[in-house]
Each structure stands twice: as structure tokens, then as C-alpha cells.
Amino acid sequence: MHFHRVDLLMCTLRLHGTLVALAAAMFLGAGSLMASDPDRVDERVRELLGRMTVAEKIGQMTQVNGAGGSIPDELAEAVKTGRIGSILNEVDVDTVNRLQRLAVEESPNGIPLLMGRDVIHGFKTVLPIPLGQAATWNPDLVRRGARVAALEAASAGVNWSFAPMIDVTRDPRWGRIAESFGEDPLLHSVFGVAMIEGFQGEHLSEHGSIAACAKHFAGYGASESGRDYNTTNIPENELRNVYLPPFKASVDAGVATIMASFSDLDGVPASANAFLFRQILREEWGFEGFVVSDWASIEQLSIHGLTANDRESAHAAVTAGVNMEMATSTYADHLPGLLQAGEVDLELIDEMVAPILRTKLEMGLFENPYTDPESFPAMSNPDHLAVARELAEQSIVLLKNDDRVLPLDREKLTSLAVIGPLADDGYEQLGTWIFDGDETISQTPLQALREFLGESVSIRHLRGLETTRSRDTAEFEKAVSAATESDAVLVFVGEESILSGEAHSRADIGLPGAQLDLLRRLGETGKPVITVIMAGRPLTLGETADATDALLFAWHPGTMAGPAITNVLFGVEAPSGKLPVTFPRMVGQVPIYYAHKNTGKPATPETFRHIDDIPARMPQTSSGFVSSHLDAGYTPLYPFGFGLSYTEFEYSDIRLSDERVPMGESITVTATVQNVGEVEAEEVVQLYVRDPAANVTRPVRELKGFERVRLRPGERREVSFELTAADLAFYGRDMRLTTEPGSFHVWVGGDSNADLRATFTLSE
């Protein structure tokens, strides 16, 4: 669709706001004033459907891109005639209100618009990328972050966020891993629900609530070779056990909408996949919200090779149960003809439109279609920044700390070299998907260090490399001199924002450009080198770790990167982030994840032979016939759940409420964790389970619970987890969710290698 820019007369919306809302309510009839009242919603939906023309119904199924602060004639006309149900990417509040006014006052049935936007990790205040948020293992904080994002977005007129992305992914090459919560189904479920609760609040109609959208249904995270939009082949059992549970949890938590994936799932692209939308989402899970396609993903069905043309694509998507089309117009162009030809019937159209109307009613949009920014807290106010800082702080993972070089002691420092392309770049610290983020309010590490250290420490700052990809080493000498003249060296390297996110996959996930060379040169000075990495994905960090004394992984931390990192560097807060995804040694190990199957020939330290240890002309059995890579071995560089602290935690005394548990009862697993170091710190206590013999093979470990605890030096705490039969259930060969009796191992510890184990038996 092509729109021409026009200037419309601006009305003073705030003055008109109340009057117009009242008029809209009157239009709905006195009995409809409480249209979001649950008992009345279905009745209202029926009433509306009874009045709407076919064109208006198809209109509700159509979402178009906004024009960015203006309303071209064609768009205005389409809204006025009820041919559009939703607009995405319009965040100019006056334009949003004008569009809503056209819909509410002028369209035949006064149906307000859904205004969608990718509010992925914050709005103006940018929170850490979702992968970083997952590293906090703190759902309450993630919920608060999503609320901040919802308030800021809602004040700009956005009422629908295309988040959370809950695609389990085990491929760090995939650029969109940055938007995900990592490799684990439970983390995705917990954080997905936390975000949904933050966006949607207690009720969708609450002031400041916006509709959430769990995406991408389903399997997108398994894109072959991590190349974006690539094909996925996921056996149904794997789909049900790994990729679908976070979506089920989101549906149970009341997520308003679901987005279809771009990807081809076992030969049927998601946007035409009736198994996904009809069988699983609606029939098995009873989802009552609506499904939106991804951008042009219905039109792309013919590019995939599933359909011959747009008409067939519209038919395939609507019969599969995709309620709304994003960005393209195959529905608008072809549903009328398909109806006329009897290939689609009106009942199907009503079935597709009803949940869209229901969602709008539940959101209270009919009563409150307009946005008054003044009724919201200011963007990026101190409370919002505090949440952003806390999230960033708790997301930082300490990967290495030789000789306890960290935390730095400000009393003992007189000079500091601050080097690297990411030390003072307010834009690059924000990460992917920051359409509305404001880099001018970013607090960079350099700024925060200067503020924290004041005049007492002299800071020598050099970028060293222009960007993270640069290979020009011209500034290295200066950087080395600055390091030589300083007490310690802080290096900020990693990936620029553009290196991760949609369509930004990488085949080599090492530190880009000449950054490793820079680190090595700085290391030659003999000064303590502390490296802070900002990146959108796990990187292969073996050589980086070797070249540095301490290594902090900060993801893309967002607006408050500077204060968060500074607090951790100087021990104001001990690092407490834990990896939500495995870090491989080499990219060739991918996919490598903790919840793998055991295989028939698992490698062990005793059986594995490294390539360097195999003498020439050794016989075929040299590798020990175990499952491993000769060069990379069989373990990752850093395991899932891993993260060091400035203290140490000791785990002991694992015990069970009972060693034999009948199926209907729960079992409590308890362990003691003690802070045996000298600083107060937080630890994420993790519970893993293994079902060693089952109808289908089960992972060697699965995360089943976690809890963040804060412990003073010397303090011990008993941490308990309750397990029920439901927690032990899985989809077997018959694709039914079952819990099998038998023995189960449980581990409690600080990462997925935890060795404190107990065993119980679940009886019939």
C-alpha cells in the first residue's frame, strides 16, 4: 500500500479526550459502558459481528505499518471505512490519538485500533537485552522491567507489544538469541510469564497495561545453522518437550496474542500450520486470544514454495487459524474473492475476527481509546532508570577472576586505563531492537567510572579500535602506553548492536575485528587486565579468557550500563548473573546445551582423548569410541547456569522429604547453601532433575527450579524446592503428557554441573 503524506488539522486531543470517550461510550449504548466486563464481552462480540460488513471484518484482520507521525489520505480513508484493525510502528502520540479518533468516531462500528510496536527490552529507557535479563534469574525484576516498558510505551499510545520472544534456542550463531531467554524451556516459561505479567498487569484494561504477544509460534529458534529465517525440522516429541512449553505457560498466564513464526516447520511454514494453531493452540490449550502473522509471513508462503500465489496463501493462513495479517494485504485482497467462491465461509471469518474484538474489549479500548501522556509517569524517570540499572547489574556474569583481581579497590587506585570501542558508546551498549531507545540518556561505563571515582583516580581513555569490527591497529601503541602508565586496565570490547538481532546471524562467534589482538597487547604490559564484554550472544571466549585476568560478560546492558558495570567492578554489588545459555569452546560444537541426551557412548574424562594426545598411527580406537569432538572435547567453555561471585558458596546436605513418593504427592528437595567468603552476595540456587529410564530418552539434566538468595559472609540458608508429578511429566512416544513411576535423580547447586545429588522413587 502506498500512502501520501498529508497534513491533517490537529485537534487539541487532551481537551477533547473526555468528551470523545463519552461519545464513544454512548455510541456503544448505555448497556455497553462496561464493555470490558467479562460477562458482557462475548455478548458485545456477537453484537458487533452482527452489525459488521464482510469488509469491516476483513479489516479487523488487517494490520498495516504506520506512516511515522503522519496520516496519509489512503490510511485515513482505510481507518474511517473500517478496513484496518491495527497499525504497527506509530509512536507519535498525537498521530495515534488522531488515528483512534478516525476509527472510533468515523468508522461504521467505532472499533478502536490496536497499536503494535516491538517493545522488546524497554522503550525510551532501554533495559538489558532479553538474554541479559534471563541472566539475572530474577523473574520479579524482569516483571518490573516489563512494567516500566509498558508504562513508557503506553504513554506514547502503544497498546500492544510484540514481546516476549520465547523461542528456545541452542544456537548462538542465531542473531535473535539476543531477544530470547536462552536455551532452556523453564527459563523461557518463567521469564515469558514475568514479562507478560509486567506488560498486561493485573488486567488488560488497567491504566498502563498493554497487550503482550508471545512469539514466534513455533520452533523459530531451531533455524538451521543459526541462519535467520532458515528451515526447522523438529520432531513432534522434541517440539512438545522443548519448544512448546514456554508458549503453554504463556497461554496459561493469559497472554493476549501469539505471533506466528517466519520459519518452515517440518515442511509447513508456521503461518499456514494448522497443527500449531488449530490443534495445539486452540484445541489442546484452549487459547482465546488471537494470532498475528509475522511481517509479510502470509505473503511469503508462496516464496517458501507452499502455495502458488497470494490467493492460496491467504486461504492457507486463514484456514490454519491466523487471525490477523501483519504488513501485507493478502487477506484484504483475497478473502472477499475466496468468500464469494465459497472456498472460505463467513463462519470462519467470524471465528477469526471474534478474538480480535474480544481482545479490544478486554483491553477497555472501547471506553478508553485515547492516550494522555500526562497521566503516565515521565519517560526515563529515576524509578525507571533504577529498574534498568538493577536489571543490568544482576545480569552481569563473572566468568573469570584470577588472583581476585576484582573487585577493584578505589582507595588503592591512583590511575586507570579505560580502553575499547565500547567504553564510551551510548548507542552500542543498548543492543538490538531499540527503535524508541534514547542514546542521549545512556550512561556509559566511562561516564560512570568518572563519576564514581571523582578526582582521586586519573583515567586515561582510549577507544583503541573505532568499532568492534575494526582491524586498524593504529591506536594500539597509545593504548599500550596508557595501560603502562596506569595501575589497572579496563577493556570494553564485544559486539556492536548491529551484530546481533533479526537477520544478524554470525558463523564465527569469536570477538570480532582486532579486539583479541588489542587485549593481548594490553596484557603484555603486565598490568592487571579486566575485560568487560558487551555482546548479543555467547561468544567463543577461550583465547579472550586466556588474555585477561578477569572477565565480565555484560550482554548489551542498555541505558544504565555504566553505573551497573561500575558497581560490579568496584564491589558495590557482587556479580550474581548466571549464564542462561551454554558458552561453547568452538563454534563447531554448536548446538551444545546442558539438557542434551546421554547417547549410548557418552564421553568421560577417562575415555576422552584430545587430538593433541593421540600419537601418530594410533589405531581406529584412538578416540575411545565416545561422543566428542577430537579438538573441542565434549564440554563447553562455560556451562549453563555458571557465574562466579566475589565470594564462594558451598553446598551441602541435600535431603528429600521422602525417598519414595506416591504419584499424587509432592516431594521437597532441600539443600544448604553457605556463603563461605568474605563479602555479602547473591547466589542463584538451581535444581536439576534426571529421569534415567523412560519411555523416550530424557535429557541428562533438566532445570526444574531456582531461587536467588542473598547471604552475608558466613551465613547459611536452607533452600527447598517442591516437585510434583507435573514437574516430572514429559511427552512420550504417544505424544501424551505423562509422568512415569520410577527413580529420579536430583541435583542442587550453583550451575548445571552441580554434583550434590539425591535419588527418589516415584511410585504408582
Least distance (Å) between residue 599 CB and ligand NOJ: 34
Residue 99 or residue 213: which is nearer to ligand NOJ going by CB? Answer: 213
In the complex, what is the shortest distance from the CB of residue 150 to ligand NOJ, in angstroms, rounded to a whole number?
A: 16
Pairing of strands 488-494, 529-534: parallel
Cβ proximity to ligand NOJ, 79 vs 87, nearer residue: 87
Strand (E) positions, 293-443? 325-326, 397-401, 415-419
Q: How far is the CB of 69 from ligand NOJ (least distance, A)?
A: 17
Place of cell 520472544: 165
- Which CB atom, from 116 or from 749, has the smaller least distance to ligand NOJ? 116
Task: Output the smallest distance, CB 217 to ligand NOJ, in A.
Answer: 11
Write down the least CB distance from residue 221 to ligand NOJ, Å: 12
Could you tell me if 122 and 565 are in contact, meaning their C-beta atoms sit under 8 angstroms apart?
no
Q: Torsion-angle region of residue 379: left (phi > 0), alpha (psi -120 to 50) or beta?
A: beta
Contact call for residue 294 and ligand NOJ (CB under 6 A): yes
Q: With H, G, I as helix, E, B as strand and everything else as coil, classify residue 46.
A: helix
The C-alpha angle with vertex 129 and arms to 126 and 133, in degrees rounded to 5, equals: 105
User: According to CB under 6 A, which one of 502, 517, 680, 722 is a site residue for ligand NOJ?
Assistant: 502
Count of residues touching ligand NOJ (by CB under 6 A): 7
Q: Does 640 bind ligand NOJ (CB under 6 A)?
A: no
Q: Looking at beta carbons only, is 96 or 392 nearer to ligand NOJ?
A: 96
Q: List binders of ligand NOJ among 454-483 (CB under 6 A).
A: none
Distance (Å, rounded) from C-alpha 182 to C-alpha 614?
35
Q: Residue 561 in contact with residue 429, Cβ under 8 Å?
A: yes
Provide the minimum distance between the beta carbon of 295 and ligand NOJ in the complex, in angstroms, as a whole number: 4
Spatial CA neighbour of 264 closest among 324, 214, 323, 224: 224
- Residue nearer to ligand NOJ on the CB measure, 200 or 263: 263
Q: Report in angstroms the alpha-carbon separations of 516 from 173, 245, 479, 537.
A: 19, 39, 14, 17
Cell of 512: 570480532
Residue that the C-alpha cell 478496513 belongs to: 83
Which residues lie closer than 8 Å to 132 by C-beta, 6 or more apart?
Answer: 391, 392, 395, 431, 554, 555, 556, 557, 558, 577
Selection from 285, 289, 282 nearest residue 360 by Cα: 289
Q: Which is nearer to ligand NOJ, 300 or 645 (CB)?
A: 300
Minimum gap (Å) between residue 252 Cβ and ligand NOJ: 22
Least Å distance between CB 294 and ligand NOJ?
5
Residue nearest ligand NOJ, Cβ-based: 162
Out of 215, 450, 504, 556, which residue is the one contacting ligand NOJ (CB under 6 A)? 215
**Rounded (10°) angle between helices 561-569 and 445-453:** 50
Number of CB atoms found within 10 A of residue 738's CB? 13
For ligand NOJ, the closer of residues 300 and 752 by Cβ is 300
Residues in the chain: 764
Comparing CB distances to ligand NOJ, the nearer of 328 and 647 is 328
Radius of gyration of the chain (CA): 27
Nearest to 59 by CA among 377, 294, 326, 332: 332
Q: Choose which of 3, 199, 217, 295 interacts with ligand NOJ (CB under 6 A).
A: 295
Among 123, 162, 247, 706, binds ligand NOJ (CB under 6 A): 162
- CA-based angle 62:67:73, to the nearest 5? 80
- State the residue for C-alpha cell 504513554: 155
Residue closer to ligand NOJ, measured from CB, 116 or 321: 116
Fill in the DSSP letter of residue 290. E
Inter-residue contact 285 to 218 (CB < 8 Å): no
Q: Toward ligand NOJ, which CB reaches closer, 294 or 682?
A: 294
Cell of 700: 541428562
Beta bridge partners, 161, equal 117
Minimum gap (Å) between residue 420 Cβ and ligand NOJ: 31
Q: Identify the active-site residue in 167, 294, 425, 436.
A: 294
- Find the shortest distance in angstroms from Cβ 296 to ligand NOJ: 9
249, three cell numbers: 505457560
**Amino acid identity of 63?**
Q
User: What are 5's three cell numbers?
Assistant: 503524506
Distance CA 73, CA 403 (A): 67
Query: How far is residue 517's CA from residue 520's CA, in Å, rounded to a whole number?
Result: 5
Minimum Å gap between C-beta 488 and ligand NOJ is 41
Q: Which is nearer to ligand NOJ, 47 or 118 (CB)?
A: 118
Catalytic site residue 294? yes
CB atoms within 10 A of CB 233: 12
Looking only at residues 655 through 684 of this chain, which bind ligand NOJ when binding is defined by CB under 6 A?
none
Q: Hey, which residues does 745 pair with through a beta bridge?
A: 690, 759
The residues facing 761 across adjacent strands are 660, 743
Interface characters, 115-144, with ligand NOJ (x: CB under 6 A): ---x--------------------------
Query: At how many degrees (to 10) do helices 346-362 and 330-340 cross?
Result: 140
Question: Is 294 or 436 the residue whose CB approaches ligand NOJ more closely?
Answer: 294
206 sits near ligand NOJ (criterion: CB under 6 A): no
475 contact partners, CB below 8 Å, separation of at least 6 = 462, 463, 464, 465
Cα 363 to Cα 357: distance, rounded to the nearest angstrom: 10
Is 270 in contact with 239 (CB distance < 8 Å)? Answer: no
| Residue 183 · residue 703 · CB < 8 Å | no
With cell 534415567, the residue in question is 692
User: CB 548 → ligand NOJ: shortest distance, Å?
Assistant: 35
C-beta of 124: minimal distance to ligand NOJ in Å? 18
Q: For residue 732, give the nearest of 742, 724, 740 by alpha carbon.
A: 740
Question: What is the x/- site pattern for ligand NOJ, positions 223-262, by CB under 6 A?
Answer: ---------------------------------------x
- Between 268 and 296, name the residue whose CB sits nearer to ligand NOJ: 296
∠ CA 389-460-571 to the nearest 5 degrees? 35
Which residues would be at the binding site for ligand NOJ (CB under 6 A)?
Answer: 118, 162, 215, 262, 294-295, 502
Residues acting as catalytic residues: 294
